[in-house]
Amino acid sequence: MTDYDWDAFISHASEDKDDVARPLANQLAGFGLRVWLDESEIQLGNSLRVKIDAGLVHSRFGIVILSPSFFSKVWTKSELDGLVAKESDGTKVILPIWHQLSREDVQKHSPILAGRLAARTSEGIRAVASKIIKVVSGSGPTSRKGTPIFAGRLTKKKLLELPEGSFFLSNTYNADLTPALAKEIPSHHAREPYWEKQSWPRLFGQRPAGFKWIPAGLC
């Protein structure tokens, strides 16, 4: 069996990073997957082509976020071509996600992709992540376990400090591999009134067994 450095490569247009790619990467990292996302793997001075090629070669799956922006880019189409080449031996590699597209829209750009079962962002990022997890977990062991940057008593100060895109995630799971608890943290401007309105922060401050924080930027 081939050893991979990453469980999944996320191919996406930059316009879809904030709403889809980054939140999805964070959710998957919380499940214990190692995800290749450009902003985490490409540093100042790196060769884009070399780093992306390495990501494509050394990732088990390719998550392709199909959107109007995706189909308008040359670079994303090149990434898709690379993932298609990996399927030449019949191995499933491409995991398509439709974002702001109908089947007819996808059909216009790629009849082959339109014929594949895809997840849709309209179902919610958590639902998309759950579907991906089921595929990845069925193909062999994942690369690593998720690691939180914070686990402890939740205070208002800590809530306000957590990075944008963070969420709460238990390390206990339901039968369908979804977390027993998963709650997104609001944007910074909405956190103070959220703290005042909710009772759960005080409950989580008691540190129930199996609870951990999963932040943005785990990959």
Residue 209's pLDDT band (cuts 50, 70, 90)? very low
- pLDDT single digits (tens) 116-140: 999 999 999 989 998 998 888 776 5
pTM over 0.85, yes/no: no
More confident residue, 11 or 169: 11
Most confident of 40-44, 73-77, 157-161: 73-77
DSSP-derived 3-state class of residue 193: helix
Decide if pLDDT at 114 tops 80.
Answer: yes
Is residue 147 within 8 A of residue 215, CB to CB? The reply is no
Residue 86's pLDDT band (cuts 50, 70, 90)? very high
Q: Dihedral (C-alpha) 172, 175, 176, 179: value to the nearest 10 degrees?
A: -10
Which tokens is 160 given?
């306000």
Is residue 175 within 8 A of residue 130, CB to CB? The reply is no
| H or E stretch covering 137 | helix 125-137
Dist CA 195 CA 4 (whole Å): 41
Query: Of the listed 79, 104, 161, 184, which one is catalytic?
Result: 79
Decide if pLDDT at 72 tops 90.
Answer: yes
Residue 79 among the catalytic residues: yes
